[in-house]
Each structure stands twice: as C-alpha cells, then as structure tokens.
Amino acid sequence: MAMVLCFTAAVGYAEGNQTPATTASLTETIHQMTLGVDTLWVTIAAMLVFFMQAGFGMVEAGFIRAKNTCNILTKNFLDYSLASLMFFFVGYAFMFGEGSFIGGNGFCLIGCDETVGTVQIWAFWFFQAAFCGAAATIVAGGMAERMKFPAYLIYTVVISALVYPIVGHWIWGGGWLAEMGFKDFAGSTVVHATGGWAAFIGTILLGPRLGKYVNGKAKAIAGHNIPLACLGVFILWFGWFGFNPGSTVAVGDGADLALVAMNTNLSAAAGGVTAMIVVWILVGKPDLSMTMNGALAGLVAITAPCAFVTPTAAILIGAIGGVIVVLGVLLLDRIRVDDPVGAVPVHGMNGLWGTIAVGLFDVNDGLFNGGGVKLLGTQILGTLTVSLFVIVSMGLVFLAIRNTIGLRVSRAEELRGLDIGEHGMESYAGFQIFVTE
C-alpha cells in the first residue's frame, strides 16, 4: 500500500540521488548528518534541563508549608518563562557575544552564525536558555515563604538578563576565566554557585521566617508534602542527565557523554548514601529530606568535573558532597540563615566543592593525579571570585528592591500564607490543613 502522506518535512539526503555518490558528496552527506545528530542530542538534552524546572518546583513546594505552595510554584513557573524571554532578547548576547567583561552582540540572535560547533544555533540557544532558567529558580527555594511576588519577578529579570549571563560569559563565553584555563564542564559554578550564593544573600537580607528562631534556638518547620519533594528530586536527577551529558554539545563517538552520564549517576548515588549515614549518626534517624539533599549535592558537585574524572573519583566527589550538605544545613541553622529548602548547602557550597574538585581529581591536571596546584589554584580563584561577584551584585539588587517596593510580605500575610495573600487561591481546596507559623 502506498501511504498518502502530506505530513513529513522534506526528507532530503535520505532519498536516493540520481547521480552516483562520490567521496566528496558522501563527506557532505555525513557532515549534514553530524549536524543533525548533534543538534538532536542537544535539543533532547535541553528538554531534560527544561524538565528540571518541574523538579525544582516540586522539591521547593514539598519542603515548605501548604499555605505557600501556590506562591512558590508561580515563582518557579514565571522565572523559567521570564528567563526564556530575557535570554532571547539580551541574555544570550551578553553571554556569548564578543567582549571582555560582557558580550555585546547577538541580541535576539540577530547576526549569529547558523551553527555553534556542529549544533544548530536554535538548539544551542534552547539548551543555554534552560540553564539560565535553572540558575534563576534556585533562589526561590532559599527565599521561600516570605518574599513578595513582584519582588521576585524583578529579581528574576535581573539575574537571567544580566548576572547569570555575565558569569557565563567569563567562563563559557570566552571571558577572563576561560582564558585562565578555568574548567567548569556543566556549571557547578556557572549555574549552581551563582544560584546558591544569590539565594544566600537574598535569604540574609530577607530575614528568617516568623517562628523559625525562638529563644535563640532553630525550630524545624516541616515540609508539607514529602512525596512531592521526592518526586521532584527524581525529576531533577533525571533532568541532570541532560544537564551534564548534554554539555558535551556533540555526540562524537559517544564516549564523553556516556562517561559523564555514568559519573553523574554514581556521584548522586554516593551523595545520597553518605548524607543518610551522616544524618543517621548525628541525629539518630535516616532522614529522607537530608538523604535527598545528599543526592542533589552529589549532582551539583559532579557538574563541573563530570567529564574530567574517573568513575571512582565521581563516587568520592559525590560522597564528600553528601557530607557537606548535612554539615552545611546544620551550620546555616547555627548562624541563623533560614534557607527553607537547603538551596545554599546544595547549590552554593557544593557548587564550590565541585569546582574545586576538578583541581583535585582531573585526570590530567588534578593535584591527586600529579598535576600540581596550578589548576587547583585557578579553580579556587575562579569559583570564589564568581561567588563574591554574585553576592555583591545580587546583594545590591535585593537592597534596591527592599528600599523601593519591598522584599517581604506583611506579618499578617506571612501568617495567613502567601497563596491567599499574593495569588488569591489555595493549593489544596477541600483538605483540612492546620496553618502553622
């Protein structure tokens, strides 16, 4: 039966040419196919990175109280949407355009080459835009349950249009850190340290939630939906297989992307296990929230080194990440920084750790592989500089917001919940829920 089909795009090279193939025509055909396969891979990876947004949303929502759930989901939804638009209009140009401190051409992709390496520009943009959204959304968790919605929208526009692209330009856009030989394969610093330290300064400037510190002691405020948070962690882990392996930006013979995927998986697994063990020892019970944050810590930590280290090193890096996240959560509680979902230990501290780990475990230039301290020094310098830059620049932004429209909702609204206050809706209509402060 001859299928009638008005649906397919032109199928091009697959159709038999009338003229016999030559080595020259075959070379061209293979080149087109390489463009196709590499673009397909980066597009699929971008989809997975996009899907991480659902993971962030569910983790953040699950770890906070029911009364603020719609609020954080709206933030999560909007930061990705605004980041997509901003990164099209200006962010991509700031990040990948020419310039030393910041890029300056390619707004709306005008004038850009059709391909980046062997990837169509549209796919490369989509992949990078999804990264930008991830950096933006990390902050929502740290500042959850008390930040004004309009303030969040302003923050989002600034980080996705300006701060993230500047950091990205330095490291992935040919800027000064790139020139120094700084290595951050998939963004422990570019994405996670940026998001994590922005959350850190934002959380400090916002102050702790009502009822978090009573008589000088930190009080646990339980998350309202742990299964949802758990699902979110699985979605993040799943999406990370786009985030890290996709950063190869080419398929080649598959060795790089496969090693990266394996390392990513092992590091996450190790982080979850060590976090569980440490919290079991320190607190007496294998806490699921901490275990899940341990896996996320392992994922953040392996993001920079995933393509540069062996699987055994990946396990070590993740395992240490799991320890860091538990100690980090306890430390923040001691210094009274109220980070409801652990954004700072997961993304900030482990962003640092992962970046530094490259200097230790890199198979060629790492300290433990006889590479000396040169790379290690560059990694430490780079990640600390970026963290400091983010804290200062985002600190100024948050201060400006605080002194104009205000960062924080009213006491009454915080007690009642931001779902009603900011959005006029409830997350779980019909359910009997105790509203606590």
- In angstroms, the CA 284 to CA 265 distance is 27
> For tokens 């597009």, what's the residue?
43
- Torsion angle of the four alpha carbons 207, 212, 215, 219, in this order, in degrees rounded to the nearest 10: -150
Nearer to a copy of itself, 204 or 265 (CB): 265
Question: How many other CB atoms sit within 10 Å of the CB of residue 433?
Answer: 14
Measured from the Cβ of residue 80, the count of other Cβ atoms closer than 10 Å reads 25
Q: What are phi and psi of 207, to 5 degrees?
A: 85, 160
- 63, 195, 36, 62: which is closest to 122 by C-alpha? 36
**Binding status of residue 154 toward a copy of itself by CB under 8 A:** no
Q: Taking the complex as a whole, how short is the minimal distance between the CB of residue 130 and a copy of itself, in angstroms?
A: 8
- Would you say 106 or 142 has its CB closer to a copy of itself? 106
Identified binder of a copy of itself from the candidate list 149, 213, 368, 389, rule CB under 8 A:
149
> Is 300 a binder of a copy of itself (CB under 8 A)?
no
Q: Which is nearer to a copy of itself, 404 or 436 (CB)?
A: 436
Candidate list 248, 355, 378, 379; residue touching a copy of itself; CB under 8 A:
248
Contact characters 378-397, a copy of itself, x per CB under 8 A: --------------------
Site for a copy of itself, residues 106 to 125, rule: CB under 8 A: 106, 108-109, 111-114, 116-123, 125
Cβ contacts of 269 within 8 Å, gap of 6 or more: 295, 298, 315, 318
Nearest to 170 by CA among 97, 263, 239: 97
Q: Which of residues 211-230 bind a copy of itself (CB under 8 A)?
A: 222-228, 230
**Strands (DSSP E) found in 8-114:** none
Among the residue ranges 257-265, 338-346, 358-366, 393-401, the one whose residues contact a copy of itself (CB under 8 A): 257-265
Cβ–Cβ < 8 Å for 138, 192: yes
Per CB under 8 A, which of residues 168..197 are in contact with a copy of itself? 171-174, 178
Residue span 70-99 as binding mask against a copy of itself, x where in contact by CB under 8 A, dash where not: x--xx--xx-xxx-xx--x-------xxx-
Nearer to a copy of itself, 13 or 213 (CB): 13
Residue 410 makes contact with a copy of itself by CB under 8 A: no
Which lies closer to a copy of itself via its Cβ, residue 208 or residue 272? 272
Contact with a copy of itself (CB under 8 A): which of 145, 256, 365, 414?
256
Decide: is 103 part of the binding site for a copy of itself (CB under 8 A). Answer: yes
Which of 46, 302, 357, 386 touches a copy of itself (CB under 8 A)? 46
- Shortest Å, Cβ 90 to a copy of itself: 14
Q: Which is nearer to a copy of itself, 214 or 220 (CB)?
A: 220
Decide: 67 and 419 in contact? Cβ < 8 Å: yes
- Contact between 21 and a copy of itself by CB under 8 A: the answer reads yes
Spell 108-126 as b/e; 16+ CB within 10 A means b: ebeebeeebebbbbbbbbb
Site for a copy of itself in 302-361 (CB under 8 A): 307, 311-312, 315
Please select the residue that binds a copy of itself; options are 136, 158, 295, 341, rule is CB under 8 A.
295
Q: Does 244 bind a copy of itself (CB under 8 A)?
A: no
3 state SS for 344-370: HHHHHHHHHHHHHHHHHHCCCCCHHHC
Q: What are phi and psi of 399, to 5 degrees?
A: -65, -40
Closer Cβ to a copy of itself, 212 or 224, answer by number: 224
Nearest to a copy of itself of 105, 404 (CB atom): 105
Based on CB atoms, which residue is closest to a copy of itself, 193 or 204?
193
b vs e for 230-262, b when ≥16 Cβ sit within 10 Å of the residue's Cβ? bbbbebbbebbbbbbbbbbbebeeeebbebbbe
Q: Count the residues of the shown chain that bind a copy of itself, applying the rule CB under 8 A.
A: 159
User: Which of 260-268, 344-352, 377-385, 390-398 is the region at the interface with a copy of itself (rule: CB under 8 A)?
Assistant: 260-268
Q: How many CB atoms lie within 10 A of CB 147?
A: 29
| Binding of a copy of itself by 131 (CB under 8 A) | no
E-strand ranges in 44-153 read 115-116, 119-120
